[in-house]
A and B are shown apart, each in its own frame.
Chain A
Amino acid sequence: DQQVKQNSPSLSVQEGRISILNCDYTNSMFDYFLWYKKYPAEGPTFLISISSIKDKNEDGRFTVFLNKSAKHLSLHIVPSQPGDSAVYFCAASVDGTASKLTFGTGTRLQVTL
Chain B
Amino acid sequence: EAQVTQNPRYLITVTGKKLTVTCSQNMNHEYMSWYRQDPGLGLRQIYYSMNVEVTDKGDVPEGYKVSRKEKRNFPLILESPSPNQTSLYFCASISLAGLGTDTQYFGPGTRLTVL
Task: Please report A residues at the B interface, Cβ cutoff 8 Å.
Answer: 2, 4, 6, 32, 34, 36, 41-46, 49-51, 54, 89, 91, 96-106
Contacts and interface: CB of A to CB of B under 8 A. Distances in A.
Nearest to B103: A46
B81 interface: no
Interface string B74-111: 00000000000000001010111010111111111100
A105 B95 contact: no
Contacts of A50: 100
Interface of B: 4, 31, 33, 35, 40-45, 48, 50, 58-59, 90, 92, 94-96, 98, 100-109
Contact of B96 (A54, A97, A104): A97
Contact of B95 (A96, A98, A103): A98
A44 B43 contact: yes
A106 B94 contact: no
Q: Is the interface of A mostly helix, strand, loop or mixed?
A: loop
B42 A106 contact: yes
B42 A105 contact: yes
Nearest to A44: B106
A2 B41 CA distance: 8
Contact of B109 (A43, A51, A89, A102): A43
B106 A103 contact: no
B96 A103 contact: no
B106 A101 contact: no
Given A49-B100, A51-B100, A101 B45 contact: yes
Of B4, B50, B103, most buried by chain A (CB within 10 Å of CB) is B103
B94 A99 contact: yes
A98 B42 contact: no
A9 to B, nearest CB: 9
B90 A98 contact: no
Contacts of A54: 100
Contacts of B59: 102
A101 B95 CA distance: 13
> Can you list the 7 inter-chain pairs with the closest CB atoms, starting with the nearest?
A43-B106, A98-B102, A51-B100, A103-B43, A46-B103, A103-B42, A105-B42
